[in-house]
Amino acid sequence: MGAAKVNGVEIEWREAGKGEPIVFVHGFPFHSAMWGEQLNALPKGWRGIAPDLRGFGASEPGTDPIYTMELFAQDLHALLDRLSIERAVLCGLSMGGYVLFEFWRLFPKRVRALVLADTRAGPDSADAKKARESLAKRVEKEGNTPVVDGMLPKVLNSTTRYGKPEVVQVIKSMMQETSADTMARALRGMAERPDSEPLLRTINVPCLVVVGSEDAITGRGQAEFLARGIRGSSLEIVDDVGHVPPLEKPADFNKVLGVFLSRLSSAPG
């Protein structure tokens, strides 16, 4: 793990490989361990960096009461500065994708290409915002169990849930390791996120959209919407997985990521 004080908090990250940078941004309520299989199998010529967003994994929580997507994007920007990385490929899953939309809004010049996995551009509906607030209040009172118990059945499809106990365990452990306080701050931050749909047509870097065929949280329809809205993007469906293809079927996810990266390597950068 690497560690440094960036944007006022101690951020830790996993790192592998040497070469062109790709930064992996985890979803909620996971941490950088979700990208272990990508860091282990990075194509030659690539340097993978997977930070724990503030409050998650081994990174410090800081004092901001709400983790807006903008705050996470600013942390990532400060981390790129700290690592002297001018431009990187950014790969985010779900909440990680929300962070990348903010990053694109604020720092487009630092983006070499985007990988948007199991995410969506639209904001929360009024009902979704209310549900996030009541969940935030519950975890503040009861601890992180309501999120773990509520999300676990939804994030993985039945093939993973019943056939891959080791993946279920990794997902469950990451959720259990996330504090109730971090969950509440991030739930409120996600509820506040702006509508990024108008941003899609401004994306003019190479973009790969990936989704699990049975993602019950940010499903195929959302991914198709992204792919239609981002000029020149490509859409890949990972068959027979839920919301977390990088963990549920790492070899399949790595294959589509590898093809995308090899096209980038042969294009002027």
Work out how close the CB of 123 gets to ligand MLT at its nearest, in angstroms, rounded to a whole number: 10
Which CB sits closer to ligand MLT, 206 or 250? 250
The whole-angstrom separation of Cα 5 and Cα 223 is: 35
Which of 13, 24, 28, 56 touches ligand MLT (CB under 6 A)? 28
**Which residues, including other chains, have CB under 8 Å from residue 214's CB and lie 6 or more apart?**
157, 158, 240, 241, 242
Interface with ligand MLT in residues 94-153 (CB under 6 A):
94-95
**27 scored as a contact of ligand MLT (CB under 6 A):** yes
Per rule CB under 6 A, count of chain residues that contact ligand MLT: 7
Work out how close the CB of 60 gets to ligand MLT at its nearest, in angstroms, rounded to a whole number: 20
Task: Show the site string, 81-100: x = touches ligand MLT by CB under 6 A, - = not.
Answer: -------------xx-----
Work out how close the CB of 109 gets to ligand MLT at its nearest, in angstroms, rounded to a whole number: 26
Length of the chain: 269
3-state secondary structure of 209: strand
Work out how close the CB of 128 gets to ligand MLT at its nearest, in angstroms, rounded to a whole number: 8
Which CB sits closer to ligand MLT, 58 or 217? 217
**191 scored as a contact of ligand MLT (CB under 6 A):** no
**Which residues, including other chains, have CB under 8 Å from residue 152's CB and lie 6 or more apart?**
168, 171, 172, 175
DSSP readout, 25-71?
Answer: E--TT--GGGGHHHHHTPPTTEEEEEEPPTTSTTS---S-SS--HHH
Which CB sits closer to ligand MLT, 110 or 243? 243
Which CB sits closer to ligand MLT, 17 or 97? 97
Strands of the 234-238 sheet, one edge to the other? 2-6, 9-16, 46-51, 20-25, 88-93, 111-117, 207-212, 234-238
Q: Are 37 and 250 in contact (CB under 8 A)?
A: yes
**211 scored as a contact of ligand MLT (CB under 6 A):** no
The whole-angstrom separation of Cα 261 and Cα 52 is: 23
Quick one: which H or E segment has residue 228?
helix 220-229
Work out how close the CB of 146 gets to ligand MLT at its nearest, in angstroms, rounded to a whole number: 14
Contacting positions for ligand MLT (CB under 6 A): 27-28, 94-95, 190, 217, 243
